[in-house]
């Protein structure tokens, strides 16, 4: 089973891009966040409870939006404690708007003090993991420089100035069955205009349709660009 999450940043505006990627990635279960106000959807698919989420952005640390974000995570924790069991097969994921570690941002010093990386937000993410969830992407990719979001401005995507804020978390029971995970960087470029997020996928029990996510070639180009004099 392949499970995918992708904040497409307006399904109406990017329907053609989504249709292209659905054929490319061929997920069995997907969360493309088409309804901005739907913060949580849960369904059992193939014996796995899939919980699709969109966490509030938070905007500015200390703002009412930021406080609402932290409260939203508290409500999520209560729901897990009351209605779920880490001993059952669960995938929880979506745009959580948190980069859990410094390795998940392009420059920890530049991001320090901002939303998505503040200690309370990271602690909220860590509490989900302590409950019994595991970051499926990091099971397979310990390397730095892998992100799911890049600002449209200032050529940030081509410079790989991004953040890993979209996640698929698997329960302890499902951890050994998560055989592959990838962020499809190729979906973040080209026409029609892409989302500022890239799709994230995890394969359960067996590999899904193969695709080249584009990371190796991108890293070669970025390294060459940085090595140029002047």
Backbone φ, ψ for residue 89 (5° rounding): -75, 110
Burial 109-121 (b: 16+ CB within 10 A, else e): eebeeebbbbeeb
Q: Are 212 and 150 in contact (CB under 8 A)?
A: no
Q: Are 201 and 191 in contact (CB under 8 A)?
A: no
The catalytic residue among 31, 32, 66, 95 is 95
Q: Which residues contact 50 (CB under 8 A, 6 or more apart)?
A: 3, 29, 31, 42, 43, 44, 90, 91
User: Catalytic site residue 147?
Assistant: no
User: Catalytic site residue 152?
Assistant: no
H or E element: which one contains 39? none
The catalytic residue among 31, 32, 54, 196 is 54
List the catalytic residues: 54, 95
């Amino acid at each position: 089973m392949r499970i995918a999450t992708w904040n497409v940043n307006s399904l109406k505006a990017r329907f053609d891009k989504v249709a292209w990627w659905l054929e490319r990635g061929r997920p069995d279960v997907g969360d493309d966040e088409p309804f901005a106000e739907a913060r949580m959807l849960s369904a059992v698919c193939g014996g796995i409870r899939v919980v699709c989420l969109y966490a509030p952005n938070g905007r500015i640390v200390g703002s009412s939006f930021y406080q609402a974000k932290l409260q939203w995570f508290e409500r999520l924790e209560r729901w897990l404690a009351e209605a779920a069991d880490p001993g059952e097969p669960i995938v929880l994921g979506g745009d959580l708007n948190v980069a859990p570690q410094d390795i998940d941002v392009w420059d920890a010093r530049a991001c320090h003090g901002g939303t998505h990386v503040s200690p309370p937000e990271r602690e909220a993410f860590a509490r989900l993991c302590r409950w019994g969830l595991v970051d499926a992407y990091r099971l397979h990719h310990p390397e730095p420089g892998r992100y799911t979001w890049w600002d449209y401005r200032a050529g940030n995507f081509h410079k790989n100035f991004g953040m890993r804020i979209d996640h698929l978390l698997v329960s302890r029971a499902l951890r050994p069955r998560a055989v592959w995970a990838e962020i499809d960087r190729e979906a973040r470029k080209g026409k029609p205009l892409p989302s500022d997020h890239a799709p994230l996928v995890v394969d359960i029990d067996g590999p899904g349709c193969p695709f080249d996510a584009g990371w190796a070639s991108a890293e070669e180009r970025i390294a060459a660009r940085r090595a140029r004099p002047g």
